[in-house]
Amino acid sequence: MLPRTQRQKEILDYITRFSERHGHEPSYAQIARSIGVKSRATIAKHIAALERRGLLIRTHEDGSFALTVKVDDPDALCEVKLLGRIAAGTPLDVVECNETVPVPRFLLGSVRPERVYALRVKGDSMIDEHICDGDIALIENRTEARNGEIVVALLIEENQATLKKLYRRGTNVELHPANSQLQPLTLPASQVAVQGIFCGLLRSTN
């Protein structure tokens, strides 16, 4: 079953990404900030609607909840296209390939597999978000991003791509690393194109 409204989808997608990244669910206040609303009561109504649709299950009387992803088989895999490399450091020239990688379906949450592609990470500029050199980043194919989201940013003039947190500052865009040793990159907004939003991670255990 799918969310009934676009706002419910945004909330469900945010909870999914947050839970995968941090290992626990976000607070109502965090969800409210993520979608740009002030009222936690509004979030509570959307959460209740998602619960009625079987997409969220409350686990405690204090109102906390756990995310339930509706898949037929929790061990199911799906194939995601591996399109090339992405820099988590100095931007890289865009390099394409035509491989696929198997991805546990539950990692994608409510995002359909056909809307996701994968990129191999090179560099350590996002290490504070636990995105390391050699990891495979799962990217939702979207061109709109909210401030603070981790994006695939194409630097148009250089035809180079990088994985960074995006913030809009007037007519400029700031691309922030998640590494205290590195500085953000500031560019005119017209020179940056969002090509996807980070939504999950695969890491080799070898």
Active site residues: 125, 164
Cite the DSSP H helix spans in 36-135.
40-52
Give Cα separations from 170 to 22, 143, 161 (angstroms): 30, 18, 22
Buried b (16+ CB within 10 A) or exposed e, 168-198: eeeeebbbbbbbeebeebeeeeeebebbbbb
Q: What is the C-alpha separation between 83 and 70, in angstroms, rounded?
A: 27
Q: What is the C-alpha separation between 122 and 93, in angstroms, rounded?
A: 12
Minimal CA–CA distance to 191: which of 204, 178, 179, 173? 173
Q: What is the C-alpha separation between 25 and 28, in angstroms, rounded?
A: 9
Instruction: Tell me which residue has tokens 């988590």.
Output: 88
